[in-house]
Chain A
């Protein structure tokens, strides 16, 4: 039974809202946690500001273990924890938890990579002025890497949008679920096409915004 567009539009609209909710919450919580984890990876790296072989080694291995797990499997693996934290393993809310955790791990590597590009000389200069490690992290490392970080987060936004498409496997909503349930499963290719167009539009907009902000952050 193919519904007509007058009933589909409101569902698409609702799915769009759910996707936005998933991506926003994951980026805010996971993105922030990932920033902290990435900074920790960078500063504890041998030879850096707070070099600590054990802390770095532990974090590094942890990230390397989690990141390669296919997300669809990760969602089910994390089920028991999700139940503890969210109270249920079903629905959009329950999906946001594993999404945020995976976002944090993904973000950490992107943050770390962007910080590696910072000239160690500016860190040395700040140290020579008597700045504390915390001050160096907040007033040197993050501002100096801001432009690549903005581009990194733009990339992440798109990756999280991608991950959010499988929310349906645990009964979550969103655009991906919409395209599968109302399009693919009912042979309504128009629904799939429209959803893809919406997703492409979101991605284009995000990339445009990211590029603009990054250019402004780059004082050249």
Chain B
């Protein structure tokens, strides 16, 4: 990763988005709902920032506070160095036009063609017709829908609709793109396509993206940093890789568990023990820290037999991440030496043997999904 990512968030005097103690309460008195509760966040320029949480956690309210569709009842929202809380409605419209938004249900105008939809924000911004047509053609090309310019939304598939939604959100050249559950209405294959398009928007156009989701897989494949929300509060913020490898909040752990299936669940572990009565250990695979190669080199060196019985290694961001559960067979002293050495290079969780089982601490902490 670049130096930029390693810098503390406060370094950039004008981060893309800054929330300072932002709250939003709906309703009054006994029926008041605190949808967003004292949230402070910094979204850096040029990053893909994920916000994950269960239904009702306040994610949509949070994004709608960012583009001022909702006004905060407390705290400050700062966009590109400009404080937007308290601005009059007319000024807020300017702010909104500089932030693109993509929706779960696409929200395309059914009465306009694809080109008409993509050109709509340009009409709002009073672009001249010729400029508008040029820009629309350019955007439809970018999202790969040049041949659908004259089609109506009703004639498109979900994936195509969302690509129109993204083209429309990009039309007025925003610096920030907000995607609220942009892939939740799509099948897995189409989801991958749309996420790939969002990554391209970020990489090629340098646009800061905030991705709202309840799927950790979206965060894993697409985001650089992530905030985990629960009951209106942000319970954890960090580099996606760090949150995956060492989630601190309970909610984060549950979400990580839903995206990674490399650790055996308690039930699976019980079945494993029936089939493999020997010593079971789980070895974490991380970028740099330890790799599969190292595990097998040490096995050879210490003349211990190892059989992989469970596990999985995938990518978080673009870095390898996962674990392997291995049954060790060999002389007790050699196994002990092997484990001591392996422990210096990698995260090792000793699960014991069928006769003397040890619990997986992470599973106990709620890694189950």
Which A positions have Cβ atoms within 8 angstroms of B? 119, 121-122, 124-132, 135, 139-140, 143-144, 146, 217, 219-220
Contacts and interface: CB of A to CB of B under 8 A. Distances in A.
Question: Interface centre among A130, A132, A146, A220, by most B CB within 10 Å?
Answer: A130
Given A140-B109, A144-B111, A129 B121 contact: yes
A158 to B, nearest CB: 25
Nearest to B152: A219
B129 interface: no
B49 interface: no
- Chain B residues touching A, majority SS: mixed
Given A125-B107, A129-B96, 10 more contacts: A121-B103, A121-B106, A125-B108, A126-B109, A128-B67, A128-B101, A129-B172, A130-B124, A217-B111, A219-B110
A209 B276 CA distance: 78
Contacts of B67: 128
- Interface residues of B toward A: which range? 20 to 34
Nearest to A147: B111
B93 interface: yes
Given A124-B69, A124-B103, A220-B154, A130 B110 contact: no
A18 B124 CA distance: 44
B348 to A, nearest CB: 49
- Chain A residues touching B, majority SS: helix
Given A129-B172, A130-B97, A122 B124 contact: no
B107 A127 contact: no
Interface string B159-170: 000000000100
Nearest to B121: A129
B3 interface: no
Interface in B219-266: none
B107 to A, nearest CB: 4
A73 B210 CA distance: 61
Contact of B124 (A129, A146, A219): A129
Nearest to B151: A219
B120 interface: yes
Contacts of B97: 129-130
Contacts of A128: 67, 69, 96, 99, 101
Contacts of A124: 69, 103, 107
B94 interface: yes
A144 B109 contact: yes
A60 to B, nearest CB: 22
B192 interface: no
6 contacts: A122-B110, A129-B121, A131-B124, A140-B109, A146-B111, A219-B110
A128 B155 CA distance: 24
Contacts, number: 68
B94 A219 contact: no
Contacts of B108: 122, 125
A146 B112 CA distance: 12
A41 B101 CA distance: 28
Given A121-B105, A125-B103, A127-B69, A132 B93 contact: yes
A219 B154 contact: yes
Given A127-B96, A130-B94, A219-B152, A135 B124 contact: yes
A135 B96 CA distance: 15
B151 to A, nearest CB: 9
A132 to B, nearest CB: 6
A143 B121 contact: no
A122 B107 contact: yes
A132 B172 CA distance: 16
A122 B125 contact: no
B331 interface: no
Contacts of A146: 111
Contact of A130 (B96, B105, B112): B96
A126 B93 contact: no
Question: Interface centre among B67, B110, B153, by most A CB within 10 Å?
Answer: B110
A126 B124 CA distance: 9
B176 to A, nearest CB: 12
**Shortest 10 CB-CB contacts between residues of A and residues of B:** A130-B97, A219-B152, A121-B107, A125-B107, A143-B111, A130-B93, A128-B101, A129-B121, A130-B96, A220-B154
A130 B109 contact: no
B123 interface: yes
Contacts of B93: 130-132
A220 B152 CA distance: 7
A130 B125 contact: yes
Contacts of B123: 139
A49 to B, nearest CB: 12
Contacts of A220: 152, 154-155
A127 to B, nearest CB: 6
A172 to B, nearest CB: 39
